[in-house]
Amino acid sequence: MKIAVLQFPGTNCEFETLVAVKAVGMEGEIFRWNRSAGELSGFDGFVIPGGFSYQDRLRAGVIASKEPVMSALKEEAGIGKPIIGICNGFQILVETGLLPGSIEKSSGNVDMALAQNVMVSQGKIVRRGYYCDWVNLRHEAPSKRCSGSFAIERGALLKIPIAHGEGNLVTTTPGLMKKLNDEGQVVFRYCDRNGRIINEFPFNVNGSTESIAAICNEPGNVLGMMPHPERAFFAWQLPAFDPRKQRPDEPGPGRRVFESMKRYIEVNA
């Protein structure tokens, strides 16, 4: 079971992502952008890690989305291999049209955007732009719905950090939000520590529509998420006030995303 962790110029989370991939028992390697795209077919799954690919020129993710490796990745997605895009990886998947996966099938349109964070509290904008903190996520999809949350039960709470300037999911495509909800494509939402969805800052940390933190495509093999599961892989990485931090050998909440990917590949092999 071999995972390619994609690397574009400006990617900056590939090393800790590879650590996470390997720590759950998968093989993996970093796949540099100028390698022959054809080699991608030799892998069983893909992670597009976070960072600032191509310096976020024009807008986050758009230049990487035009690379040959992304065309090759579309084909791999088409045959059901799992792809997880984290943070900038999510932005790239949106720019390629792999997420949410078009309403008009095979049109390849970009149907949504991850816009600049706008933090709103009590009707007022209290902050904009880049933000780094630990957030609580509620798993919205049923288990087995999506590759990256395959082994996570619906309603499970995960504490995972975010760090981004553009994670505010917006769309003007008619019917898209309804479809995402109806088809179980909303994978994670931001919530409070008890799992309540409160659609304002600091719980909805970036202003995202319906507090959405992660979505998958219709078949469920492609997942995009703004939070960084690879940074919550060990319990010792948790913030000071989390009681699990005192049990440093325990797995962290983010580990479940990588375990899910592994399980998904095992089941679909």
- Residue 57's contacts (CB-CB under 8 Å, 6 or more residues apart) are 63
1, 19, 120, 156: residue in contact with other proteins (rule CB under 8 A): 19
Q: What does the alpha-carbon distance between residue 142 and residue 153 come to, in Å, rounded to a whole number? A: 6
How many residues belong to the site for other proteins (CB under 8 A)?
A: 33
Assess 79 for contact with other proteins (CB under 8 A).
Answer: no
Assess 25 for contact with other proteins (CB under 8 A).
Answer: no
9, 184, 195, 219: residue in contact with other proteins (rule CB under 8 A): 9
Could you identify the residue written with the tokens 């008619």?
174
State the DSSP code for 206.
S
Assess 253 for contact with other proteins (CB under 8 A).
Answer: no
Q: How many CB atoms lie within 10 A of CB 246?
A: 11
Helix (H) or strand (E) holding 28: strand 27-32
Minimal distance in Å, beta carbon 245 to other proteins? 9
Q: Is 216 a catalytic residue?
A: no
Assess 163 for contact with other proteins (CB under 8 A).
Answer: yes
DSSP secondary structure, 98-145, as one string: -SS--SSTT------EEE--EEEETTEEEEES-EEEEEEEEE-SPTTS
4, 24, 26, 51: residue in contact with other proteins (rule CB under 8 A): 51
27, 75, 133, 153: residue in contact with other proteins (rule CB under 8 A): 133
- The contact set with other proteins (CB under 8 A) reads 9-13, 15-16, 19, 32, 34, 50-52, 54-56, 129-133, 161, 163, 228, 230-231, 233, 236-237, 239-241, 248
